[in-house]
Amino acid sequence: MIIHEIFLAVSDPTKAGSDRLNLRNELMQTSQSFRQWSLGVFLATLAALSFEGCESAKVTPAPSATTSAPAASATSAAAATPTATAAPAPAAPNAPAPSTAAAATTPAPQAPPVRIKAGYFSSFKDSEGNTWLPDQAFAGGETIERPDLEIADTKDPMIYRAERYSMTGFSYPVPNGKYIVKLHFCETFEGIAGPGERVFSFNVQGQDFKDFDVWAKTGGHQRAYIETVPIEVTDGKVNVTFTPKVENPEINGIEILPGS
């Protein structure tokens, strides 16, 4: 349109003045419109650039509680995952403790051998050098010595040349354990002339010996005889009881020896 107006102004000089004025006005308006349009475009572009800059400068918000759950789950999963645990170092072997069973079966200390000469009130040594204690630990009875008698079947006649008779018992303290008790007998009373004339019973730590006849055991007068009885003591004493039947019980000596 503007070009058309210029063409008309050239071809018609009469209209040149007014047309030029109109053209100038139109050009000014067009220029002003262009400037406004350019300014608008510039401002719009600037605004757009500023908006993008602000968007890029925004701080990314922290994850909300709903987004933190997976992390917690992951942590739980990691905690639940079994990890290799170092095996504990083996303890140093201790010295084996003494066996209770072995300790329980160990016998208590036993007393040394005890030898008591019945009816004799001084100690003496036998042919093997063993010491015999004087008469003791009997309950009741009487004693008698016959120092000149010959005694057969023994190397130690001294043991049988004295006796205790008519006693009811004997009790001697010892540690609990196993023992061998030896009871020494010899018929030396001149009033006994054969078997059945002296008969009695005795009990050694619960073991009975019924109707014991010294003459019947030895086969005669002034013959030594030893009755050997293994026992176990549980009450701290060796106990012997005597019960008469015909005449009185008699005994010449008692030995208490450690058993096995």
pLDDT in tens, 212-233: 999 999 999 999 999 999 999 9
Does the pLDDT value for residue 5 go beyond 90?
no
Of 170, 168, 165, the residue nearest 145 (C-alpha): 165
pLDDT at 54: 46
pLDDT at 111: 80
Q: Identify the burial level of 80 via C-beta atoms within 10 angstroms of its C-beta, where 0-12 means exposed, 13-18 middle and 19 or more buried.
A: exposed
pLDDT at 74: 38
pLDDT at 48: 57
Contact 9, 16 (CB under 8 A): yes
Does the pLDDT value for residue 35 go beyond 70?
no
Contact 186, 160 (CB under 8 A): yes
Of 253, 37, 238, 83, the residue nearest 163 (C-alpha): 253
Percent of the chain with pLDDT over 70: 58
Does the pLDDT value for residue 15 go beyond 90?
no
The whole-number average pLDDT for the span 36-57 is 56
* Identity of the residue numbered 205: Q
The whole-number average pLDDT for the span 131-140 is 98
- Rounded CA separation 179/255 (Å): 10
Does the pLDDT value for residue 16 go beyond 50?
no
Per-residue pLDDT band for 260 (boundaries 50, 70, 90) equals confident
Residue linked to tokens 């061998």: 180
Q: Are strands 142-145 and 114-117 parallel, antiparallel or unpaired?
A: unpaired
Residue linked to tokens 């917690």: 72
Per-residue pLDDT band for 252 (boundaries 50, 70, 90) equals very high
pLDDT at 96: 52
Residue of higher predicted confidence among 55 and 34: 34
Give SS3 for 260: coil
Give SS3 for 172: strand
Does the pLDDT value for residue 84 go beyond 70?
no
